[in-house]
């Protein structure tokens, strides 16, 4: 099978906190002014991505994995995850603060929801002046202190705030309390999981006048209450080379700051490769075809590919593998 670089139709999600930057900055064809997420590559049940280009246009990611598992996913990925696509790629636009939340680890998620946990990373693509993220606590807290802060509506006093700018990158372990702040547009790379424990939502109501569900009790045993400075990712941005950003059991991400064409040998990876264009534009080709990628677009390079050629004079890419 000639598995060329595969692009997918974005799955757009309206959110209480969403805005219009997905259109204004990334060129997405949103239809609502509260569009918060563009799911670029998803194997989540009910939201499975569909190929947007070439002879396989209209084919779902699930069909591809079932027909050509080793060729699309790679042998080691199939061995570890079967026919479940292990990564979910999103662009997120927060016009308002997102709810304060966390995600359980694999063991707890499996026990409670028959799901993977959710380890994730964020790459900031655009940020308003003084925009912030909430990541972790500003001191060590006990479960009792945390519970009391919820009762007294003072949780915000315990949280750590990080001002952000374009290019800032953060790694969010399971159990770490967090929220994307108003004015931040980012790329999110995560385990395939939609399990989220919402613990505080700024006392907001949805469009029907209802408070959104909180998961207070579920969160108590899932939270890491210790203050840790392990979330800000320091990475090199050397031009025209592969710069390592994040490496964990669930995905590895590299940063490419390109000013000229580059060819990469990926024959030994035994995994698919994903490219997110976060600045500029590129032409990306493998042994079987080529695609044009603009800022805010994503492509899947099947594992059967031996090389990738990236043609550009100026672009920044995130490269994701297992």
Is 198 an active-site residue? yes
Tokens of 119: 């380890």
Q: Which of 198, 204, 212, 269 is catalytic?
A: 198
Select from 274, 291, 317, 284 the least CA-distant residue to 72: 274
3-state per-residue secondary structure call for the chain: CCCCCECECCEEEEEEEEECHHHHCCCCCCCCCCEEEEEEECEECCEECEECCCCCCCCEHHHHHHHCHHHHCCHHHHHHHCCCCCEEEEEEEECCCCCEEECCCHHHHHHHHCCCCCCEEEEEEEECCCCEEEEEECCCCCHHHHHHHHHCCCHHHHEEEEECCCCCEEEECCCCCEEECCCEEEEEEEECCCCCEEEECCCCECCCCCECCCCHHHHHCCCCCCCCCCCECCCCCCECCEEEEEECCCCEEEEEEECCCEEEECCCCCCCEEEEEEEEEEEEECCCCEEEEECCCEEEECCCCCEEEEECCCEEEEEEEC
Which residues have a catalytic role annotated?
198
């Amino acid at each position: 099978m000639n598995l060329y670089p595969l692009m997918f139709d974005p799955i757009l999600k309206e959110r209480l906190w969403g805005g219009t930057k997905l259109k204004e900055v990334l060129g997405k064809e949103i239809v609502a002014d509260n569009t918060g997420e563009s799911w670029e590559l998803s194997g989540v049940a009910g939201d499975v991505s569909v190929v947007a280009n070439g002879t396989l246009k209209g084919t779902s990611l699930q069909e591809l994995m079932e027909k050509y598992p080793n060729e699309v996913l790679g042998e080691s990925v199939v061995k570890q995850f079967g026919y479940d696509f292990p990564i979910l790629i999103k662009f997120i636009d927060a016009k308002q603060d997102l709810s304060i939340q966390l995600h359980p680890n694999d063991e707890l998620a499996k026990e409670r929801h028959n799901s993977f946990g959710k380890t994730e990373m964020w790459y900031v693509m655009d940020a308003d002046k003084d925009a912030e993220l909430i990541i972790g606590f500003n001191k060590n807290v006990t479960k009792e202190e945390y519970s009391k802060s919820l009762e007294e509506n003072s949780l915000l006093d315990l949280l750590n705030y990080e001002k952000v700018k374009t290019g800032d990158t953060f790694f969010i372990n399971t159990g770490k309390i967090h929220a994307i702040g108003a004015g931040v547009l980012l790329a999110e790379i995560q385990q395939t999981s939609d399990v989220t424990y919402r613990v505080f939502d700024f006392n907001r109501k949805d469009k029907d006048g209802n408070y959104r569900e909180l998961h207070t009790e579920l969160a108590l045993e899932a939270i890491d209450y210790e203050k840790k400075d392990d979330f800000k990712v320091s990475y090199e941005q050397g031009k025209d080379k592969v710069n390592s950003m994040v490496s964990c059991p669930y995905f590895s991400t590299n940063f490419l700051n390109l000013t000229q064409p580059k060819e990469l040998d990926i024959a030994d990876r035994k995994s698919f490769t994903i490219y997110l264009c976060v600045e500029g534009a590129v032409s990306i080709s493998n042994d079987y075809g080529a695609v044009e990628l603009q800022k805010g677009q994503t492509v899947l390079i099947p594992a059967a590919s031996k090389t990738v050629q990236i043609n550009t004079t100026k672009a920044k890419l995130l490269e994701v593998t297992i």
